Chain A
Amino acid sequence: MSAHALLPYTVEPHPVTGLYSGKLGTWLFLASEVMLFGALFSAYILLRVGAPEVGRAAWPATPAEAGLSWKIGAFNTLVLIFSSVTMVMAWVKLKMKNLAAARGFLAITIGLALLFIILKILLEYIPKLQHGHGPAHNNFFAIYFTLTGLHALHIIGGIVVIGYFLLWGHKLWHTNPEYYTNRIECTGLYWHFVDLVWIFLFPVLYLMH
């Protein structure tokens, strides 16, 4: 309780920014995330434009040639979009003062995130590594594993944070429900950003020739 009292503007808006501070902090963090992924997209363009036309270092002519199935990519896109809906519904349920339903939506979100990761590892990473198409094979696979791997780490990070709020963090609801609701909103901001990155990764890696 006392720890909460030490943190000002967790619920009421800060007089200068007009926002509760967690939200501004989350947005600044996401801006830094845009730079992180932006640098990698930039590297992707540079590697692709500079790739030789023949030989082992050549860019794959089609995504299928690189062993990338658009069906898996599209399915995983839908999984992430659906998980964004369940995440925002958890926040809606908290706004409607229904903690049990909110925790249900958080659990579904985690389930969908796990489904995404499991499909990614079993149907994409493992077959590629078995074919010798690891990050060391050429620049395409290097940037493919870096981009999707960093994204996958963000999914795992999301699972950890959402899991915390599902299993332990909800105790805050009984002492300060608005604070807990705001924390779920910030978690949601992060989760939607991870979804947003995938919305660009999917056409860039799975569809473009």
Chain B
Amino acid sequence: MDGAYSDISKHIRVYMMVFAALSAGTIITVAASRFDFGGHLNVVVALAIAVVKASLVAAIFMHLKWERSLWIWYSLALCGVFFACLLALPVITTHDHPALTETKTWDVTGNEVAPEHAGESHAPGH
């Protein structure tokens, strides 16, 4: 096990390279946000850069690159499945109805009331 860490000076060089890459990645993230890739692509680009940066942190700083125990990898795989489920929830929820673009009001019989008439059904004597 110690063999993986034996040449520690090599480690330091890798850490410094990752530090430089992460700093550059931060600048690229900001620069990319200034550029309009069009529609959803902006979100995809921003998250893609974040995934690369996060992978560098996990692989190098968190030593995953040198981990051989399957217990960690199985745990992370299971974690990944449930994480995907969590992110799928809002997608499933919103996929069959549109975003709220206006405030809707319903009267006591369940009929939709136009916004300009909202509140009138509650008027006394109506």
Contacts and interface: CB of A to CB of B under 8 A. Distances in A.
Interface of A: 13, 17-19, 23-24, 27-28, 31, 34-35, 38-39, 41-43, 45-46, 49-53, 55, 70, 74, 77-78, 81-82, 84-85, 87-89, 92, 95-96, 185, 188-189, 192-193, 195-196, 199-200, 202-204, 207-209
A59 B46 CA distance: 19
Given A24-B71, A46-B93, A203 B83 contact: no
B79 A34 contact: yes
The B contact surface, by secondary structure, is helix
Interface string B10-37: 0110011011001100110110010000
B118 interface: no
Nearest to B27: A74
A63 to B, nearest CB: 9
B15 A88 contact: yes
B47 interface: yes
Contact of B30 (A39, A46, A53, A70): A70
A88 B18 CA distance: 12
A70 to B, nearest CB: 6
Contacts of B76: 27, 31
Interface of B: 1, 5, 8, 11-12, 15-16, 18-19, 22-23, 26-27, 29-30, 33, 42-43, 46-47, 49-50, 53-54, 57-58, 61-63, 68-69, 71-72, 75-76, 78-79, 82-83, 86-87, 89-91, 93-94, 99-103
Contacts, number: 138
Nearest to A189: B62
B118 to A, nearest CB: 14
B88 to A, nearest CB: 9
Contacts of A35: 79, 82-83, 86
A51 B61 CA distance: 38
Nearest to A193: B62
Given A41-B86, A96-B8, A203-B46, 6 more contacts: A17-B69, A24-B71, A27-B76, A50-B94, A85-B18, A200-B47
A46 B69 contact: no
